[in-house]
Chain A
Amino acid sequence: MTPAEIPLKAPSAAPVATSATEVTRSDVEQVERALIDASTRVPVLMFYTSAVAWLVIGTILAAYTSFKMHMPDLFGDVAFLTWGRVRPAHMNSMIYGWASMAGIGTAIWLMARLCRTTLRRPLLLVAGAAFWNVGVLVGLGGILAGHSTGHQWLEFPPYAAIILFVAYTLVVSWAVLMFQHRREGHIYITQWYLIGAFLWFPWLYGAAQIMMWVTPLQGVMQAAMAWWYANNIMFLWLGSIALGTAYYMIPKVIGRPVYSYHLAAIGFWTYALFSSWTGMQRLVDGPFPAWMVTASIAASILTIIPVATVGLNHHMTMRGNFGLMRYSPTLRFTIFGAIAYTVFSALGILLSLRSVASYTQFTQASVAYTHLGTYAFFTMTMFGAMYYIVPRLVGREWRNAGLIKLHFWSSAYGVGLMVLMLFVGGVMQGQDLNNTALPFTESTQTILAYLRGRSLSGMLLMIAHLIFAFHFGMMLFGLGRTATVPTFLNPQQDEAAQKSL
């Protein structure tokens, strides 16, 4: 693609100042917005760069984990490369390295924009990002050295968790400061989700750390605690950030306000109310009090309310504008993520039912569900946000539309194939496991073909991530395309740059 193929014009149709002293309100808003974006540049890019680095590391670990599932002898005699260590390393690098850092980076930018104020105390955030990286690095080192705790998404040894908590305190201190000094009176729905996420994460992480290691729960209750945490870190932490982002990006890109703001409010409160009760449905038929599991199943079913409200709201907002997805990378990824949220929640409700869980519990279907939430929903939404935000931070446009399209389709087909393979394979595996006449080894033979298919889909995702990392690196090093509009409105842009197009 050559730059000339992109139709661009002057930043604004608003009246242009005719003399040096005549400044319109539009000009002031432009300068303010440019200042806000400029103030977020260093911390947001630091979070994003770290996130992309963890994404690549996590993807390599994921590919290795996937191949180990059908090639178990691969580096079998190297302790730190055994499946039991690499898999948690992969999951934690993705959740705390990629997802959390990309989410925080996006939240910083959105909060600054929505509070309409320049970033205060950016050093807090820079220090927070540095500490967070150290925490993830120490945690992964601990897991690979054999110090994993063994509970899903809580595998980091306690000494790494402390570092993460210090980092998080710095980030949340900044968020409170930013919110206190906001200039915009109204709190937009995106801010609700982001503030919710900022409050829920320390609650989840703190409660889990205290109840697992400081004053440990006894026996099987540890598993209940761990699943409550794992489920809610997906819903209340990552999910909130992704939904908040979608509520900003979709209306902003298509230029139409959210279809129903009341519906958005209902969606938020019901999401907060019901999601926090979920988690125990992953323990159907386990040695737990029946009411605990039933309460979580009921809460899972009730999440249909926020899912319906959010889905309906996004659909009605987008109605008549779906064609714009061809032209906007942000819209493509965000809409994919929004649709995936509906599918993810619907599948979650289905899998929580006792009759279904008896087939899918402890099978690869559970892994399919997790990938649907963390990748198809959260990660795709974050990609969309990054395609929107990064040009506004670096003052350049993405270099190549072909790379964006390749990234999108590789990700979409990759995660689609992965979820399909794992879900179908998981159901088959569940059927075999329920057949008492069949030896256990037979069930592993049944799923082998699906695991190979999963590795293939993993390769597609690796291609997508490497392309994105390369493209992002180009932007970071100032190799993006020079453009003035429409993706960013920087009044200090040299007019010559536009002429060169």
Chain B
Amino acid sequence: MTLAKLFAKMKLSQKDAEVIFDRDEPVGKSTDLVMPWRPLFRRRKANASPKRTSQTHSLQS
């Protein structure tokens, strides 16, 4: 391998950071969100927000 080739390989692109993603797990989609969240101290009903588990689950369309 020539030095020029070596340096060319060393020029990393930010695009390379995306090699771990694919069509099923693309950039922008979270995975592994498998735990429902239950706060220790529930808010009062008047202030209660909708159930968060389903809202934040990124694979929910």
Q: Which of A184, A264, A486, A489 has a CB less than 8 Å from the CB of B34? A: A486
Which candidate, A24-32, A99-107, A432-440, is the interface stretch facing chain B?
Answer: A24-32
Q: What count of chain B residues pass the 8 Å CB interface test?
A: 34
Question: Which residues of chain B have C-beta atoms less than 8 A from A302's C-beta?
Answer: none
Cβ of B41 to closest chain A Cβ, rounded Å? 15
Q: A127: CB under 8 A from chain B?
A: no
**Contact at A252–B31, with CB atoms within 8 Å?**
yes
Question: Which residues of chain B have C-beta atoms less than 8 A from A405's C-beta?
Answer: 35
Smallest CB gap from A25: residue in B: B23
Q: A121: CB under 8 A from chain B?
A: no
The answer for the CA separation of A213 and B18 in the assembled complex, in Å, is 46
Smallest CB gap from B39: residue in A: A326
Count A/B pairs, Cβ under 8 Å: 132
Question: Which residues of chain B have C-beta atoms less than 8 A from A1's C-beta?
Answer: 36
The answer for the CA separation of A327 and B16 in the assembled complex, in Å, is 28
Cβ of B43 to closest chain A Cβ, rounded Å? 15
Q: Which of B13, B25, B35, B60 has a CB less than 8 Å from the CB of A328? A: B35
**Given A248-B20, A251-B20, A398-B34, is A324 in contact with B56 using a C-beta cutoff of 8 Å?**
yes
Cβ of B15 to closest chain A Cβ, rounded Å? 8
Q: A470: CB under 8 A from chain B?
A: no
**Contact at B24–A26, with CB atoms within 8 Å?**
yes
The answer for the CA separation of A487 and B24 in the assembled complex, in Å, is 11
**Contact at A257–B21, with CB atoms within 8 Å?**
yes
Cβ of A130 to closest chain B Cβ, rounded Å? 31
Give the contacts of A109-137 with B (CB-CB under 8 A): 113-114
Give the contacts of A389-408 with B (CB-CB under 8 A): 397-398, 401, 404-405
Which candidate, A10-18, A224-232, A281-289, is the interface stretch facing chain B?
Answer: A10-18
The answer for the CA separation of A321 and B28 in the assembled complex, in Å, is 11
The answer for the CA separation of A416 and B36 in the assembled complex, in Å, is 25
Q: A388: CB under 8 A from chain B?
A: yes
Give the contacts of A231-267 with B (CB-CB under 8 A): 248, 251-258, 260-262, 264-265
Smallest CB gap from A404: residue in B: B35
Q: A329: CB under 8 A from chain B?
A: yes
Smallest CB gap from A26: residue in B: B23
Cβ of B55 to closest chain A Cβ, rounded Å? 9
**Contact at B32–A331, with CB atoms within 8 Å?**
yes
Cβ of A336 to closest chain B Cβ, rounded Å? 15
Provide the main secondary structure of the chain B interface.
loop
**Contact at A253–B17, with CB atoms within 8 Å?**
no
**Contact at A487–B31, with CB atoms within 8 Å?**
yes
Cβ of B32 to closest chain A Cβ, rounded Å? 5
The answer for the CA separation of A486 and B12 in the assembled complex, in Å, is 31
Interface range for A: 35 or more
**Contact at A5–B34, with CB atoms within 8 Å?**
no
Question: Which residues of chain B have C-beta atoms less than 8 A from A114's C-beta?
Answer: 19-20
**Contact at A257–B25, with CB atoms within 8 Å?**
no
**Contact at B61–A261, with CB atoms within 8 Å?**
no
Cβ of A286 to closest chain B Cβ, rounded Å? 40
Q: Which of A186, A255, A323, A324 has a CB less than 8 Å from the CB of B16? A: A186
**Contact at B35–A327, with CB atoms within 8 Å?**
yes
**Given A326-B37, A401-B34, is A261 in contact with B24 using a C-beta cutoff of 8 Å?**
no
**Given A186-B19, A254-B30, A328-B32, is A5 in contact with B53 using a C-beta cutoff of 8 Å?**
yes
The answer for the CA separation of A253 and B57 in the assembled complex, in Å, is 12
**Contact at A255–B29, with CB atoms within 8 Å?**
yes
Give the contacts of A3-41 with B (CB-CB under 8 A): 5-9, 11-14, 25-26, 29-30, 33
Cβ of A216 to closest chain B Cβ, rounded Å? 40
**Contact at B24–A14, with CB atoms within 8 Å?**
yes
Cβ of A308 to closest chain B Cβ, rounded Å? 19
The answer for the CA separation of A401 and B19 in the assembled complex, in Å, is 30
**Given A255-B28, A398-B34, is A262 in contact with B23 using a C-beta cutoff of 8 Å?**
no
**Contact at A327–B33, with CB atoms within 8 Å?**
yes
**Contact at B36–A261, with CB atoms within 8 Å?**
no
Cross-chain pairs A/B with CB under 8 angstroms, 30 sampled: A1-B36, A5-B36, A7-B53, A7-B57, A8-B59, A29-B24, A30-B24, A114-B20, A186-B16, A189-B17, A252-B20, A253-B33, A255-B30, A255-B31, A255-B58, A257-B17, A260-B14, A261-B13, A261-B17, A324-B30, A324-B56, A328-B30, A328-B34, A397-B34, A401-B35, A401-B36, A485-B59, A486-B58, A489-B24, A489-B25
> In the complex, given contacts A326-B37, A328-B35, what are 19 additional A-B residue pairs having Cβ atoms less than 8 angstroms apart?
A6-B53, A9-B61, A14-B23, A25-B23, A33-B22, A33-B24, A188-B19, A190-B20, A252-B31, A257-B17, A257-B21, A321-B30, A324-B33, A327-B35, A327-B37, A329-B34, A329-B35, A401-B36, A405-B35
The chain B residues found within 8 Å of chain A, CB to CB, are 12-14, 16-37, 52-54, 56-61
The 6 A-B pairs of least Cβ separation, nearest first, read: A257-B17, A327-B33, A326-B37, A401-B35, A486-B59, A26-B23
